[in-house]
Structure 1
Amino acid sequence: MRIAVIGAGIAGLSVAAGLQRDGYDVTVFEQRPEPSPVGAGLTLFRNACDALDMMGLGDSVRAVSGTDIASMRTGQRDPAGSWLIAVPPSTVASMRSVHRSELHHTLSSHLFPGTVHAGQTARVAADGTPRVTIGERAEEFDLVVVADGIRSTNRKVLGLDTGLRYAGYTAWRGVTHRPVNIGGEAGETWGRGQLFGIVPLPDHRVYWYATANLPAGTDFPDEHQAVRDRFAQWHAPIQECLAATPRAAVLRHDVYDLSRPLETFTRGRTVLIGDAAHAMTPNLGQGAGQGIEDAATLTLLLRDVDTSELDRALTSYSDLRLNRTSTILHRSRTAGRVAQAAHPVTVSLRNTVLRLIPGRLMGAMSQRIQHRPCPGPR
């Protein structure tokens, strides 16, 4: 079976590697001339690692990721550094952190040379016929997998797009260029309409992220200075993390998710995965994980399937993934609203409630998402 994958991000590379390991003829089209990732760090929870294992990719990803956070105190703090809630170590025991470029390189290493065709913008057929058009050239496949991200052009071509919603806040991200002592504490600090997150990476550098409620499209002449000024009075080691990050390494993007979940992930023999299918806010840390789950589910459903059984497999994929990803999309949106609360009364109430909630209860809620096995064939 010939399969085209459009997009060489995490979801696209994962499904390409999984399907190629199962013997399928896979071609990946990536519109960027150099398919290297733009990003900082990310976290992978147990569900993502289980899904990688199902595709035979887990061990190599573990080799470039770390679990330092499992031995740290983590949860939510206030800007002065007082803990609002600390979750049990079991909540993050299986959580792994990795630099996005390392994950991208590792997934790419599982592909045969020549699999990824960079600098090629691929378009699908509007009716879902498994055809890909690159410029004036059209290629026929048995299946097309669309993994071209949150602003997927192909989702629109297929008539599945529900539009994007601005979440109301922007996000900075960075990785320190040297180790920073974070005192055995990680997690997020929640203020009024802004937060700061700290995640240790395997080489003792720190991946950090920060958010602020701002109008979409707000511009700063110096992003590094903007984030330093905004969090200048917050607890240590926030300023230390920012000082250890090169100015050019600070990234910022406005946060969007899908306005509403899609009704289906398939059109004919074309299927959506990753952010193209269910772009969500980052508040639950499940964006990459759900894309990897998509890849594993599709890989398992297509295992030993011939073209006569393909339509049924794609229907199963859409049915299996729609409910789970829609639920997480909505929960992540709700979590974002809570974390980004700005009114003094609302923030005071939120902080009081967090202090009253047992950490083990918060941990149990998180684990229900993390520990769910990747769905496979029925």
Structure 2
Amino acid sequence: MVWTPWKGVPSTQLAGDCEANRYKMFQNAIQKAREIGKLEMNFDFEPTVLDCEQANTKRTKLSALMYWVKKLHESPAEPLKCDYMMNFGGGANSGVTRAEPISLATLDRDCFIIPVHSVDRFLPAGIPLPALSADGKATSPLSVLEVSDPKLCILVHLMSPLEAIDPVMESPLAHPLLKQRSIAAELLTEVQQANTAVGGMLLANMEKSSEFPFISYYLINTLQTDPSNFYAGLRVSSLSKFEPKALKYTAAHTLDLYSEVAAICRPPLVLPSNEAGSFKKSQTAATGYIISVFKVFEGDDGERFEKNWLYWTGARMLYRYLPRAAGLRRIALHKSTSQKGDKMYLLVCECADLLKDISLAAFLIPALRARLCGYTGLYRPIQAF
């Protein structure tokens, strides 16, 4: 095949035009490269992106996940709208002066509650303690109220799914999850009847598969019950009821004692003295929990690490982006009291109306899991006292 130039155009002129076109294409390529070098990638997702067509499920989930992951790592536009230790509107910036004594009963703003012995480690980084001036007045607009120590200790029992010791012999009609729920409920009932805990609840995971399908949560009054004795007794009872030889199933059980080292609370907080610690009287059919479990190696629980608990636990994200309709009550951080070995942290987010609309937390939980830090699950109480 012989190539011939375009009809009516001399070959010399065509060759010149080709060289000119090549030079122009080269200039355009250089210009594009400069423009790309100045291009700033921005992954902002408008709210309308989250409402994209329902037919494209993958796009919807990916857009939502990217949106919340971006929100998690962005610099905060403003700090948390709650004040540490307690703020009751008496600060210099509020323009409100209270004449009556300030107490928990008059609480009207979100606040931090941090035990005095935990302030140095769990007061969020960047929030200074208010210092007293020469006249004895606080130099900070933040208010601090000293409240009585409830003298409570927490025991949490994490249960992994039951697994058959001999899967070949397992009946196809067996329901290990129901069996596990029944035994866990029996343990809770025994503790209630023994009156060794002031409150307790059994939480069930709401997802199809979970690392911890059931969590037992107990409040212990240290003035009435020795936490170490309570732990030892519950451990013996758990091992007896979940005995693999008799049950034909095995599971991992993690029991540990915790202290509440920090919490973000929303009023009203005060319960009558006869209801203090009672979960049954404070919960409704719509109450739900978002629980995160973290484990760090011994020695890694440093002061800098713990002062930034709002970020690595996801508490800041839950507080800022959980919809108001969820009815947030409190976000509490628990730390295991063991002196040696690895340290466990639990973040418990309680919402009064979370179960009325599960979609309120549907976008937040995948975003929390996307950090690949700890375990996060959605739970509902199935038994409480």
Length-normalised TM-score, structure 2: 0.28
User: Structure 1 length normalisation: TM-score?
Assistant: 0.29
Q: Which has the higher contact order (CA 8 A, sep 6+)?
A: 1
Higher normalized helix content (fraction of residues): 1
